[in-house]
Structure 1
Amino acid sequence: MNDLLLKLRDKGNTVLVVEHDPDVMAIADHIVDMGPAAGNQGGEVVYTGNFAGLRSSGTVTGEHLDTRQPIKRQPRAPAGFIAVRGADTNNLRDVDVDIPQGVLVAVTGVAGSGKSSLIHGSLAQRKDVVAVDQAPIRGSRRSNPATYTGVLEPIRKAFAKANGVKPALFSANSEGACPNCNGAGVIYQDLGIVAGISTMCEECQGNRFQSSVLKYTLGGANITDILAMPVVEALRFFSGPHPAAKLPAAGSILTRLRDVGLGYLTLGQPLSTLSGGERQRLKLAIEIGSDAAVLILDEPTSGLHMADTAHLVAMLERIVEAGRSVIVIEHNLDVVACADWVIDLGPGAGHEGGRVIFSGPAQALLSAEESLTGLHLRQRESTG
Structure 2
Amino acid sequence: MNDFIEIKNARIHNLKGIDVKIPKNKLTVITGVSGSGKSSLAFDTLYEEGKRRYLMFSGTQFMIDSTPTFDSISGLSPTVAVEQRIIRQSNPRSTVGTRTKIGNILAMLFAAYGTRDSKYDDGLPLSMEMFQKNSPKGMCVKCLGSGTVKKVDEDKLFGDLSLKVEDVCLGLGKRGSTKKMLDSFYKYHNISPDQKLSSLTDEQLFCLKYGDSGKSSFMGFIPWIFHVTNGAFSTNSRLSHLLTEAGYMTKPSCPKCGGTGLGVHASSTTIGGKTISELENIYIKDLFDFLNTTPLKRSPLLNEILTKLSCMVDVGLHHLSLSRPVPTLSGGEIQRLFLASYIIAEMDSIIFVFDEPTIGLHEVEKEKLISIIRNLVNRGNTVIAVEHDENFMRCADYIIDLGPFAGINGGERIFQGSFEEFLQCKHSNTAPYLKNNDILNMKSTYRTVNSDKILKVENANIHNLKNVTVDIPLGLMVGVAGVSGSGKSSLISDTLVPKLKILLNNKFVGDQNEDNEGIPEDNSVISGWERIKKCLVIDQKPIGRSRTSCPATYTGVFDRIRALFAKESGSSAGLFTVNSEGGCKVCKGDGEVHYHVGFGNFIDTECEACSGTGFIPEALEVTLNGKNIKEVLSFTVDEAVLFFKGRDKQIDKILATLQRVGMGYITLGQKTPTISGGESQRIKLAKELSKGQAAKDAVYILDEPTTGLSFHDSVRLMKLMEELVTKGNTVIVTEHDPYILSNCDYIFEMGPGGGSDGGKLIAAGSPVDLKNNQNSIIGRYLK
**Normalized against structure 1, the TM-score is what?**
0.91
- Larger RCO, structures 1/2 (Cα 8 Å, 6+ apart): 1
Aligned to 1:338: 743
Aligned to 1:243: none
2:420 to 52, 67, 74: 52
> For residue 358 of structure 1, what is the aligned residue in structure 2?
763
Q: Following the alignment from structure 1 to structure 2, what is the Cα–Cα distance between the partners of residues 351 and 178? A: 53
Conserved? CA contact 2:751–2:762, under 8 Å:
yes
Q: CA distance change for structure 1 residues 78 and 206 in 2, over 3 Å: closer, same or farther?
A: farther
Give the alignment partner of residue 716 of structure 2, picking from 308, 311, 320. 311
Which protein shows a greater Rg?
2
What residue in structure 1 maps to residue 555 of structure 2?
149
- Alpha-carbon deviation of 1:77? 3.5
Q: Alpha-carbon deviation of 1:192?
A: 6.5
Question: CA RMSD for the aligned pairs?
Answer: 2.1
Residues 153/107 of structure 1: CA separation in 2 closer, same or farther (3 Å cut): same
Contact 2:544-2:554 at 8 Å conserved across structures: no
1:102 lines up with 2:475 in the alignment: yes
Q: Which moved more, 1:98-107 or 1:251-260?
A: 251-260
8 Å Cα contact 2:441-2:715 kept in structure 1: no
CA shift in 2, pair 1:180/1:9, >3 Å: closer
Query: Are residue 9 (structure 1) and residue 377 (structure 2) matched?
Result: yes
Give the alignment partner of residue 655 of structure 2, picking from 251, 254, 259: 254
Q: Give 1:158-307 correspondences, 5 Å limit.
A: 158-191=564-597, 194-240=600-646, 246-289=647-690, 293-307=698-712
State the distance in 2 between where 1:372 and 1:112 align.
14
Instruction: List runs of 5+ in structure 2 lacking aligned partners.
Output: 1-368, 502-507, 509-534
**Using the alignment, how far apart are the partners of 1:306 and 1:193 within structure 2?**
39
- Among 45, 61, 64, the alignment partner of 2:430 is 61
Give me the whole-angstrom Cα distance separating, in 1, the residues matched to 2:380 and 2:586.
Answer: 51
**Greater displacement, 251-260 / 31-40:** 31-40
Partner of 2:447: 76
Alignment of 1:15-54 (within 5 A): 15-54=383-422
> AA paired with 1:276?
G
Question: 1:179 Cα deviation (Å)?
Answer: 2.4
Secondary structure (helix, strand or coil) at the match of 2:456 reads strand
2:471 match: secondary structure: strand
Aligned-partner SS, 1:136: coil
User: Aligned equivalents of 1:164 and 1:152: distance in 2?
Assistant: 17
Equivalent-residue separation in structure 2 for 1:255 and 1:28 (angstroms): 37
1:70 and 1:37 mapped to 2: Cα distance?
20
Contact kept in structure 1, 2:542 and 2:672, CA below 8 Å: no
Once residues 344 and 194 of structure 1 are traced to their aligned partners in structure 2, the CA distance between those partners, rounded to angstroms, is 41
Letter in 2 for 1:10: N
Q: 1:54 to 1:193 in 2, by over 3 A?
A: closer
How far off is 1:144 after superposition? 1.1
Distance 2:370 2:608 in 1: 48
Counterpart CA distance in 1 for 2:497 and 2:676 is 23
Matches within 5 A, 1:123-138: 123-125=496-498, 126-127=500-501, 128=508, 129-138=535-544
Superposed displacement of residue 191, structure 1: 5.0
Aligned length: 373
Asked if 1:324 is matched to 2:729, the reply is yes
Cα 1:77–1:237 change in 2 (3 A) is: farther
Q: Is the 8 A contact 1:73 1:363 kept in 2?
A: no
* Distance across 1 between alignment mates of 2:743 and 2:397: 32
Contact 1:70–1:337 (CA under 8 A) maintained in structure 2: no
SS of the residue corresponding to residue 664 of structure 2 reads coil
TM-aligned CA deviation for residue 71 of structure 1? 4.1
Deviations 1:154-189 (A, max 9, x none): 111122123222111111111122223222112223
Change (3 A) 1:315 1:166: same
**Residue 482 of structure 2 aligns to which amino acid in structure 1?**
G
Q: AA paired with 2:576? A: F
**Partner Cα distance (2:678, 2:419) in 1:** 25
1: CA distance, partners of 2:441 / 2:408: 32
SS at match of 2:702: strand
Counterpart Cα distance in 1 of 2:567 and 2:442: 52
Change (3 A) 1:274 1:359: same
Determine helix, strand or coil for the equivalent of 2:612: coil
More displaced 10-residue stretch of structure 1: 163-172 or 261-270: 163-172
Q: Which string of whole-angstrom CA distances, capped at 9 and with x for unpartnered residues, describes residues 269-324 of structure 1?
A: 11111122212222222233467921111111122111111111111112222332
Secondary structure (helix, strand or coil) at the match of 2:733 reads: strand
**Aligned-partner Cα distance in 2 for 1:193–1:343:** 46
SS in 2 for 1:56: coil
Rounded to whole Å, the distance in 1 between the matches of 2:376 and 2:603 is: 34
1:119 equivalenced with 2:492 (yes/no):
yes
Following superposition, the deviation at residue 86 of structure 1 comes to 0.5
Q: How far does residue 194 in structure 1 lie from its aligned partner after superposition?
A: 4.5
Structure 1 position 204, deviation (Å) = 2.0
**Distance (whole Å) between structure 2 residues aligned to residue 71 and residue 224 of structure 1:** 44
Residue type at the aligned position of 2:404: P
Q: What is the identity, as a one-letter code, of the residue corresponding to 1:48?
A: Q
Displacement of 1:21 after TM fit? 0.8
The aligned amino acid for 2:664 is G
C-alpha distance 308-205 of structure 1, shift in aligned 2 (>3 A): same
SS in 1 for 2:547: coil
- Residue aligned with 2:485, SS: coil
Farther-moved stretch of structure 1 (134-143 vs 185-194)? 185-194
User: In the alignment, what sits opposite 1:374?
Assistant: 779
| Cα pair distance change 1:376/1:255, threshold 3 Å | same
* Among candidates 545, 549, 558, match of residue 139 of structure 1: 545
Q: Which amino acid aligns with 2:446?
A: P
Partner SS for 2:373: helix
1:234 positional shift:
0.6
Contact 1:172 1:183 in 2 (8 A): yes
Q: C-alpha deviations, 1:337-375, integer Å up to 9, x for none?
A: 111111111222222221112222222222111111111
> What amino acid is the match of 1:271?
T
Q: What displacement does 1:193 show?
A: 5.9
Task: Provide the C-alpha distance between the structure 1 equivalents of 2:774 and 2:676, rounded to a whole number of angstroms.
Answer: 37
**Aligned mates of 2:689, 2:479 — CA distance in 1:** 18
Cα distance in 1 between the residues matched to 2:494 and 2:614: 43
| Alignment partners' CA distance in 2, 1:12 and 1:214 | 51
Amino acid at match of 1:63: P
